[in-house]
Amino acid sequence: MKKIACTLLLAGWFGFASAQEPFETNIESLPGERWWGGFVALGNRMPFGEELAEQDLSKINYNNQSVPLLLSSEGRYVWSERPFRFRIEKGNLVVDSDHAPVEVVRAGENLRDACAAASAAHFPPSGRIPQELFFSMPQYNTWIELTYDQNQHDIMQYARKVVEHGFPCGIFMIDDNWQNDYGNFDFKASRFPDPRGMIDSLHGMGFRVMLWIAPYVSPDSPEFRTLERKGYLLKNRTGKTAVIRWWNGFSACYDLTNPEAVAYLREQLEENRRRYGTDGFKFDGGDVAYMQAEEYAYHDPEADANTYMQRWAELGASFDYNELRACWKLGGQPVVQRLGDKDYSWEALRLLIPDMTAAGLLGHVFTCPDMIGGGQFTSFFGVEHFDEELIVRSAQVHALMPMMQFSVAPWRILSPGNTAICARYAQLHSEFGPYILSLARHAAETGEPIVRAMEYAFPHAGFLECRDQFMLGDRYLVAPMVSPGTRREVLLPPGSWRDDRGEVFKVSKKPRRIATDVPLDRLPYYERIR
């Protein structure tokens, strides 16, 4: 690898300034060079264009994972252990760091080379995967159906409907507001008269059960008083317990940079598992964006908001059944990373493929594309007649992703025929389970993404702007419908390809664009046969 020289602009050069001015690195673009990276949630804008407003990794995470990595279509990458700011001006990349000059590395000739080199050097794969069930069976999350009204009766009703309508059993996630308070890990007795019996029943039906949790602590709870006395809560610079504003209001929070606090929290979660038979947890919150109201005095004096987000994800990784939505670094680790909550809309559906491919490029290979139909509950308010086409197409996009997660109940909002289509694609996901699982194991050894951007799979072949199709491993090209209609174009790379209906297409030296009919019950995919 050859390191490229950078221009460092240091204001206050005389060395007597009261504060260190940022290191600015100007990276002149190579011919045709484009960049990916920084934020998974900006995947739909990748590769970035000629102009990009400044993005600050220390202050925002766009409700999703962030990584101090930028990747080039021409085989270069930028990495820093600490957060930095970056922007694009007239096609050239500019990176500002408050800590040290960034490293710019020439790793090869294309995006694939850059991704492989960055992974090997900075976040080598662990050799481990999350639980196999994540990849082989669908997931069912109660968020959209029940929102804050989580209760035993409706949860069991949801689970029974899964079975009744022919959907495969997999992982069942009970979402927010099952517990007495934030920071407490006991079920509300008024809503869950027999939580152990409920979980035992779900196990008997073939589900594994996960519970939603967050690192926040209700400030008027018994847990708050206990944790404050032990010194396990985050403090502000005045030494007082900090109160964080997050989407559910105001809470204290565990200081996740304190090993004793993390050990105590982990024991509380293990006690929940022993008492109720829970299999694992959905680790929500902990976002950088919620840690900006004031300066905090972390237990670790070297820590910052990004460190806090990383520690939360590291705790998650210690459980076999885990799910994260926000994370700092941790590429290559056995952590399930979900895309941030998407709206119920066609626009949001079009974000899934580029955001998923961005996650893979940035090291988060074990990723779930949010919830089918969307996970942003406010976008479901007031909807009387659902767009059935949108829900079915969403299920199809998920079907050949590493993971497939339902939330809004198809049988409640769809016709029996369209519900059956969704069940069929849930079954297709299960049928592809062995192949997807093989890709997960391959990723755990090599760092190579499961869902691959077309430019990654076929560099410099005309796929730079392709955002509506992807490769599942190196064997299947998947081209779902992400807009209303029953017809689309597919760009096939050179080779021989057999589609889901058995038709064979032979493409010689250049990619070939074909038009194909896509009725509502069809998901176009193409198997590479040579």
Give the chain's domains with CATH numbers.
2-122 (2.60.40.1760), 440-528 (2.60.40.1180)
pLDDT, one tens digit for every residue, the chain (530 residues): 433 333 333 233 333 333 567 899 999 999 999 999 999 999 999 999 999 999 999 999 999 999 999 999 999 999 999 999 999 999 999 999 999 889 899 999 999 999 999 999 999 999 999 999 999 999 999 999 999 999 999 999 999 999 999 999 999 999 999 999 999 999 999 999 999 999 999 999 999 999 999 999 999 999 999 999 999 999 999 999 999 999 999 999 999 999 999 999 999 999 999 999 999 999 999 999 999 999 999 999 999 999 999 999 999 999 999 999 999 999 999 999 999 999 999 999 999 999 999 999 999 999 999 999 999 999 999 898 999 999 999 999 999 999 999 999 999 999 999 999 999 999 999 999 999 999 999 999 999 999 999 999 999 999 999 999 999 999 999 999 999 999 999 999 999 999 999 999 999 989 999 999 999 999 999 999 98
pLDDT for the residue numbered 459:
98
Q: Which residues contact 415 (CB under 8 A, 6 or more apart)?
A: 388
Token duo for residue 143: 């968020």
Cα separation, 239 vs 225, in Å, equals: 16
DSSP string covering 262-311: HHHHHHHHHHHHHHH---EEEE----GGGG-SS-EE-SSTT--HHHHHHH
Q: Cα dihedral angle (397, 400, 405, 410), rounded to 10 degrees?
A: 60
Q: β-strands 216-217, 296-297: how paired?
A: unpaired
Instruction: Identify each DSSP E strand in 349-482 by its residue range.
Output: 367-368, 405-406, 451-452, 470-472, 476-478
Cα separation, 18 vs 192, in Å, equals: 58
Q: Which residues contact 362 (CB under 8 A, 6 or more apart)?
A: 36, 37, 40, 65, 67, 69, 71, 331
The residue with tokens 């990619």 is 511
Cα separation, 183 vs 280, in Å, equals: 16
Measure the N-to-C terminal CA separation of the chain; round to a whole number of Å.
33
Task: Report which residue type is found at 247.
Answer: W
pLDDT for the residue numbered 2:
38
- Is the peptide bond preceding residue 47 cis, with omega within 30 degrees of 0? yes
Task: Report which residue type is found at 511.
Answer: P
pLDDT for the residue numbered 65:
98
pTM: 0.94
pLDDT for the residue numbered 288:
97
